[in-house]
Amino acid sequence: MNAKLQGKLAVVTGAAQGIGKAIARQVAEDGATVVIADRNGPGAEAAAAEIGHGARGMRCDVSSEADVAELFDTVAEGKAVDILINAAGIVPFISWDEVDLAHWQKILDTNLTGVFLTSRKATDMMRAEKKPGVVLNISSNSFFAGTPNMAAYVASKGGVIGFTRALATEIGRAGIRVNALTPGLVDSDGVKGSPHADSFDFVEMLQAMPGRGQPEHIAKVASFLVSDDAEWITGQTINVDAGMVRV
């Protein structure tokens, strides 16, 4: 076990499966005590049991202000966490002609407002204790690519990048770092069960390096960004997609 996160308390949202779960596992293996927060409470608890290392699972719908408040007031008995990783998200596959306001609002409520709510609570608690901390927001390279059939998703993930930059500027003097990570197409549970699973061959042709993205590829970079090895990095968007998008 790498101990670079030893003694840290981390909350990872949307970590019952997929990229979030891989990140939670990596952060735990690197020494942090991890709380897996997911709207699928039993799934969060099962993931925590599988990961081990003292990980805990809690139900939390990040689009609910009450759920978020309960999460952070519970995990450390009212004390601030060291690390917040926002991986919760809904990944739709729906053409523009089918996008209505209800769909748009549902995606933004989780993918963007959820990031605001968790960041609001976590960073307020960090600053109240004068405690340095880290926020890492999982966005998507679809923001750069303008991926079709994902209008609300692309908009929400672009909003995450803009929010990351603004928040980093506002709270950097409190010793809190805020970055975004943008995965490309990843061979995760969610993707395998969606129409996006048919896109791997096409995406691979666009990449600078061959192969399929794996959740572990994202998790390793995430763990680096929340560690002290990245202490001089904030307000940045780190693209992790084998060079599909070159920014």
Establish whether 57 is a catalytic residue.
no
From 116, 143, 153, 163, the catalytic residue: 153
DSSP class of residue 77 equals T
Q: Please, is 173 exposed, middle or buried when counting C-beta atoms within 10 Å of its C-beta (0-12, 13-18, 19+)?
A: exposed
Cα separation, 26 vs 20, in Å, equals: 10
Contact between 58 and 35 under an 8 Å Cβ cutoff? The reply is yes
SS3 content of the chain, % helix, strand, coil (to 5): 50, 15, 35
Q: How many residues does this entry show for the chain?
A: 247
Please, what's the b/e burial string for 195-223 (b: 16 or more CB within 10 A of its CB; e: otherwise)? ebeeebeebbeebeeeebbebebbbbbbb
Contacts of 66 (CB under 8 A, 6+ apart): none
Based on its alpha-carbon atoms, the radius of gyration of the chain, rounded to whole angstroms, reads 17
Cα separation, 109 vs 87, in Å, equals: 14
The residues that are catalytic are 153
